[in-house]
Chains A and B, each alone.
Chain A
Amino acid sequence: MRRTLTTFRTLVAATILTATVGASSTSFAQQTRDGLNPTGQNPTAESVNEEFLFKQDPKITGRISIPDGKAAHLIQPAGRDYRDFRERWLPWLSALAVLGAVALLGLFYFFRGRILMERGPDTGRKILRFNGFERFAHWMTSSCFIILALSGLNYIFGKRLLMPLIGADAFGVVAQYAKFSHIYLAWPFMIGVALMLVLWLKDNIPNKIDIAWIRAFGGFVGDKHPSAGRFNAGQKMVFWMVIGFGSAMSVTGLMMIFPFALTDITGMQLMQVIHALIGIAFIAGILAHIYIGTLGMEGAYDAMGSGKVDLGWAKVHHDLWVEEEQAKNASGPQLGRHQVPAE
């Protein structure tokens, strides 16, 4: 009895085993047919591909075994867009802004001419407008600005204008030093902008007088001179342009001096675009400032040249400021006496 049971058990086990092996061997034969994966899956079904990854993100990023995080970006087609901006749009935009500003100023000079000083009872007497420290802050910022503007334009126009003239090798050297000056003189420029903000902020808060000044077109049109304090609305606009553009240039510039410190490749491209666009607008704006401060208006340059302006000119252009100064200083605004600086 027991023996029969054992035999039966063995038989059942053998049958099951044979059946299993048979079944599995047939399926094995099916799976190893040429071109098919043993697991029965298509290996491409799960594999990543470019189109799929570009649908998720404009750049393809993976894992990298080297400690340079930038290298993890496999493909970033946005580089082509950045190139389009820099090579197709930027040269034309900058040429338009810079040459356009020069042309407009030329037209203004041609039609309006130099704004001459009006002779009056106070002509010849002087009043201190900017003290030594104010002039120092102005000239430090402005001399740096001129170098920064020229070396900045060199990044755009150097290879188009200067390189054909002096040759590739000489231009390489010039561009290298232009780059050094751009990086290093950016620092005194930033300090200068900060100094000017501290020095002149309180005189540049917009107020009601400015609206009247703008309504009268600042006296550029017609013979009447609208009232103005220490700075008229036009000068305030220059001040706020310098502060606004200056700080925007500083922030984007610092991001570019320390590349990839705070942002990735997309951020760096954006910083470069902003820096370039604001840069050319800044240059155009400062060209107007240089024009009106030197050639455009007689007597204006003295404010930053010697610091002392003609009292008659000051009474015409900055009447409220002169009143304030004279009230502050009972001994009168004449020079040669001890006096409180215009600040």
Chain B
Amino acid sequence: MARMKFLCDADRCIECNACVTACKNEHEVPWGINRRRVVTLNDGKPGERSVSMACMHCTDAPCAAVCPVNCFYTTADAVVLHSKDICIGCGYCFYACPFGAPQYPKVGNFGSRGKMDKCTYCAGGPEPDFSTIEYEKYGSNRLAEGKLPLCAEMCSTKALLAGDGEMIAQIYKQRVIKRGYGSGAWGWKTAYRETVAI
């Protein structure tokens, strides 16, 4: 089985936000819930870089560890998913997540902010694949169709890579060697405890 990862090549990302839009449309994510977002660093200064960020599907995921109701599980493809039936919306996963991935449908107080929502790597949830209830709770299940996450699939500059960790690391390495520079695999050290060594 593959070990699915995301890699954003910040030297290619042009902050077009198409990944964000694709994600919203594919899963019909409501306004205000950002499963994926693009953060611009050093905005307006020389050396500005943009990074598209979502759940990184960490190795030994901190969100899953701190969850007081153990609603997270990891699939055979190492995708970190959760059950909205068990989630109590406590928000601990947001405190533990290094990437700010968990989102809540209600804002204001802790009491009733609803079930947590996050990037599913386009892999749905615990419900049966392609069922209506799965779509309503978690969005579409592209992985079960044999497709990769839509954000990476339709990235206009192919900055965002999704797929087996070793494969996308190899693609990124080739790029860096070819063009002679690269600002690194953002978040990999925190998420996977490894970097792409060039």
Binding site for B on A (CB under 8 A): 35, 42-44, 46-51, 53, 60, 62-66, 68, 70-80, 82-83, 86-87, 154-156, 158-159, 163, 168-169, 171-172, 175-176, 179-180, 183-184, 256-259, 265, 268-269, 272
User: Besides the contacts A68-B32, A180-B112, what 12 more A-B pairs have beta carbons closer than 8 Å?
Assistant: A47-B10, A50-B183, A50-B184, A63-B39, A63-B41, A74-B187, A83-B62, A87-B65, A154-B68, A175-B88, A180-B111, A183-B109
Q: Which chain B residues border A68 with CB–CB below 8 Å?
A: 32, 34
**CA gap between A42 and B181 in the complex, in Å:** 8
Cα distance, A184 to B110, chains bound together (Å): 10
- Bound CA span A48–B42, Å: 7
**CA–CA, A155 and B100, complex, Å:** 21
Contact of B39 among A42, A71, A159 (CB under 8 A): A71
Whether B69 contacts A183 by the Cβ 8 Å rule is no
Residue from A180, A257, A265 within 8 A of B95 (CB atoms): A265
Nearest 5 pairs between A and B by C-beta?
A44-B181, A46-B47, A172-B86, A83-B62, A62-B39
Please name the residue on chain B nearest to A35 by beta carbon: B180
Looking at the assembled complex, report how far the CB atom of B131 sits from the nearest CB atom of chain A, in whole angstroms. Answer: 18
| Residues B100 and A183 in contact, CB atoms below 8 Å apart | no
Interface of A is mostly: helix
B residues less than 8 Å from A163 (CB atoms): 69-70
Q: Which residue of B lies closest to A159 (CB)?
A: B70
Smallest CB–CB gap between B184 and chain A, Å?
Answer: 5
Interface centre among A179, A183, A265, A269, by most chain B C-beta atoms within 10 angstroms, is A179
Provide the bound-state CA to CA distance between A70 and B91, in Å. 13
Least CB distance from B77 to A in Å reads 22
**Other-chain residue from A77, A154, A172 in contact with B98 (beta carbon distance below 8 A):** A77
Q: Is the CB of A50 within 8 A of B186?
A: yes
Select which of B32, B34, B69, B184 is within 8 A of A159 by beta carbon: B69
Size category, B interface: 35 or more
Closest Cβ of chain B to A265, distance in Å, is 7
| A residues in contact with B189, CB < 8 Å | 50
Instruction: Report B48-96 residues with CB < 8 Å from chain A CB.
Output: 48-51, 53, 62, 65-71, 83, 85-92, 94-96
Docked complex Cα distance between A191 and B69 (Å)? 30
Expressed in whole angstroms, the Cα–Cα distance for A74 and B11 within the complex equals 16
A168 lies within 8 A of B190 (CB): no
Say whether A80 contacts B39, CB under 8 Å.
no
User: Is B108 positioned at the interface, with any CB of A under 8 Å from its CB?
Assistant: yes
Known contacts A75-B187, A265-B95: A82-B66 contact under CB 8 Å: yes
A78 to B96, CA, bound (A): 8
B117 to chain A, nearest CB (A): 13
Q: Which residues of B contact A74 (CB under 8 A)?
A: 39, 41, 51, 53, 99-100, 186-187
Q: Is the CB of A47 within 8 A of B11?
A: yes
A68, B38: Cα distance in complex, Å: 12
The chain A residue sitting closest to B46, CB to CB, is: A46
Chain A CB within 8 A of B156 CB: no
Shortest A70–chain B CB gap in Å is 6
Contact call B85/A35, Cβ cutoff below 8 A: no
